[in-house]
Amino acid sequence: MIDKNLSFPAYLSHPSYGSSDLKAFRIGPPAAVQWKRSNRQDGTEATKLGTAAHCALLTPSLFDAAYWVKPEGMEFRSKENKQLRDDVIASGKEIIDLETLATVNDIAAAVRRKVQIQTDRAEWSIFWDCAESRLPCKGRPDWFDHEAVYDLKVSVVADKPAHSMAFAAHANGWLNQLAHNRPGLEANGLRVKVGRLVIVSPNAPHYVHLLEVRENDMDFLEMDNENTRREMAQCHRTGQWPGTPDTWRIIELPASAAFTESDLQGAEEALTE
């Protein structure tokens, strides 16, 4: 099923499992999945900026309904201004200042210079049952076209070297997220081959990186997702999401523990020669 008009809060509250649930399960313990679903955290200033940029780029017609821009110099100290602030919040709008709006506009302009966004296929909520595990799944790709499924990230990762960016994309679960959304689209009759990340820096001059995940790598990532879903499906069917073990577990020392300080110093000297 595809819902083109479902709000993001309604999507989050849907009981099916999304890529963030798979990520929580992989990190573990399984109990973390249910805890995080019931205790969603308010975003940081960085995530709020990213959310505003997403809205400006993917659903620009909704921006004015979602955000209220505080006039320059306005402070919420007087009774009247406090009441205005409370009324704006009660209406469901997020309050941002002019500086934040300028940053959002600059980010949006930088992305638009690099890539064409399919706004008519943006922020669709997709639902399906995993073909392997029968786990009820959900996804919300930023957008897609006949070639790829896309995800937009506003992150300081964009200011890092290429190898650091690639590592962060995998460690943060962004690549698995792309792979998770692909079978959801296919289950709804929309076949795409590759995944594409658009990573933009929140810092001026807002460098934009376009990263593509090849089809065979998407297949590999989806195998990882399927393995996670199989384990999650067992918890879903039984309703048992265990926490950490109650027994002592033996851990192995890392290989680096066998090196002395002089060994490490010698290695560092060799690298600088």
* pLDDT confidence of residue 76: 83
Point out the residues of the chain with pLDDT beneath 70.
Answer: 259-273
Query: Does residue 271 lie in a domain region?
Result: no
Residue 55's contacts (CB-CB under 8 Å, 6 or more residues apart) are: 62, 63, 66, 67
Query: Inter-axis angle of helices 215-238 and 174-187, to 10 degrees?
Result: 80
Distance of CA 39 to the CA centre of its chain: 17
Q: Which residue type is seen at 236?
A: H
CA angle 59, 62, 65 (to 5 degrees): 155
- Residue 226 belongs to a domain with what CATH number? 3.90.320.10
Query: Does residue 247 lie in a domain region?
Result: no
Model-wide pTM > 0.95: no
User: Which tens digit of pLDDT belongs to each residue from 7-33?
Assistant: 988 999 999 999 999 999 999 999 999
* pLDDT confidence of residue 264: 55
Query: Does residue 263 lie in a domain region?
Result: no
The domain containing residue 77 runs over which residues?
Answer: 2-237
Query: Does residue 179 lie in a domain region?
Result: yes
* pLDDT confidence of residue 92: 87
Report residue 87 as tokens: 């009324």
Query: Does residue 146 lie in a domain region?
Result: yes
Distance of CA 5 to the CA centre of its chain: 20
Number of domains in the chain: 1
Query: Does residue 269 lie in a domain region?
Result: no
* pLDDT confidence of residue 47: 87
Query: Does residue 270 lie in a domain region?
Result: no
Question: Environment class of residue 248 by beta-carbon count within 10 Å: exposed (0-12), middle (13-18) or buried (19+)?
Answer: exposed
Query: Does residue 97 lie in a domain region?
Result: yes
Report residue 235 as tokens: 């918890």
* pLDDT confidence of residue 254: 82
